[in-house]
Amino acid sequence: MQENNLNHHNCRLLPKRIILVRHGESDGNLDTSAYSTTPDHKISLTEQGRAQARQAGSHLRDLISGHGSCSDWRVYFYVSPYERTLSTLREIGKSFSKKRVIGVREECRIREQDFGNFQVEGRMKVIKETREKFGRFFYRFPEGESAADVFDRVSSFLESLWRDIDLNRLHNDPSHDLNLIIISHGLAARVFLMKWFKWTVKQFELLNNLGNCEIRVMELGHGGEYSLAIHHTDEELLEWGLSPEMIEDQKWRIHSDKASWNDHCSYYLNSFFDHQLDSDEDVTKVDIDSDDDSRKN
């Protein structure tokens, strides 16, 4: 019930779940030459993609309702403005009655990475090979975006999302479990998770893309933190590219609170330093030793 979703540290009423959904199979997924004649935002779903979306809607309803055991729940949708995401929403929406959907918002900041207008197939193949050598996060497509650019706008969207929650702009009844469903694209979903869970660029580079209509369920833990490990198995998380340390962090979040994150995630802090000294006296000793070594040289 919703009473479990109250963060007592700041009396913030939190959604029970935030669910990321990639769009269904599109004409571009089936044949990349489609991008050379059709603008990316107008690429449509295939019949298979529409079927995937309908199946995803049924799966989401069962997940949220506990296969019918929970009655007090509602959903709110955020959707990318691309044709394939809007069509995915229409098909998913067939699994939810009007009383269950408290709202929907088209959100441009969760759109697909901009690859640069029409995409000439042969040229894009060479460009994507270059991206693999350069690094997927920082490589910027000619006339388009890098994953870092997408990260910036998704971060802005997250700030707006928190304001929506804080000010109850979603108009959710406190007696209902609220589920936010974000229908977007593979890269946007990955950088959303990267921003939310404070993953590094190196960790992002290890992540695998979502399949068509594949979902990522972030569920609220007992201490007010969201975790992928409540709904998903270790095997799934490993398959998606999460390291053992990242999976450990997801499990910790089930029972944790934000205040203890730095103390818990020593692996995160250690990744930025060769080693950390225990006291100021140790730092002073290192400085003295360094000075002695300099004199000897």
Q: How far apart are CA 172 and CA 170, in angstroms?
A: 6
- Residue 28: what residue type? G
Q: How far is CA 2 from the centre of its chain?
A: 23
CA 210, 239, 31 angle in degrees (round to 5)?
35
Q: How far apart are CA 162 and CA 140, in angstroms?
A: 29
Hey, CA dihedral for 220, 221, 225, 226, is it positive or negative?
A: negative
Candidates 83, 112, 145, 225; catalytic one: 112
Q: Are strands 12-13 and 6-7 parallel, antiparallel or unpaired?
A: antiparallel
Cα distances (angstroms) measured from residue 208 to each of 237, 239, 282 = 10, 8, 42
Is position 222 annotated as part of the catalytic site? no
Candidates 23, 176, 185, 232; catalytic one: 23
Is position 112 annotated as part of the catalytic site? yes
Residues tagged in the binding site annotation for substrate: 22-29, 84, 125
Q: How far apart are CA 13 and CA 261, in angstroms?
A: 21
Residues tagged in the binding site annotation: 22-29, 84, 125
**Which residues form the catalytic set?**
23, 112
